[in-house]
Amino acid sequence: MNGAMEEMLQLPLENKRRNVSEKPYHGYLGPTSARSSIFESLGIVEPGIYDMIENFTNVLWPEGNIKISKTVHLFSEPVLELGQILRRIIVESLGVEKYLDEHINSTYNLLRVNKYEAPQTTEKKTWLMAHRTRT
């Protein structure tokens, strides 16, 4: 997966900027004045669905990229499976198993590929503000 991530993030900026979404933080995030110049990220919605991965790769590579699609899918499958197992364990431990399917059906998955560069300065500065993943 590391090689696939590098290949995605080494694409020309015009390719990466085609990864857009109406939802905040679901598409390409690149260096801007509002964000740190050391951070770059791409979003892949529903990486467990192969067609969604193909749609994503076809946006970045108009001719497609089967190798990247397969790599992302092979990486995503066990990660998503683990997520399902953990959700089941948590729901069962809370005694609300009857809501598991409803919960699973009310959510979706987003895979973010992030790249952080080392700052090109010795200046002491907060480059990225504290943040958390919101569901």
What's the pLDDT at 90? 94
For residue 121, give the DSSP letter.
S
Say what the pTM is.
0.78
For residue 29, give the DSSP letter.
B
Q: Residue 131 and residue 135: Cα distance in Å, rounded?
A: 13
Q: pLDDT per position in the chain (135 positions), as tens?
A: 888 888 998 999 999 999 999 998 899 988 765 556 678 899 999 999 999 999 999 999 999 999 999 999 999 999 999 999 999 999 999 999 999 999 888 999 999 998 887 777 777 766 556 666 665
What's the pLDDT at 2? 81
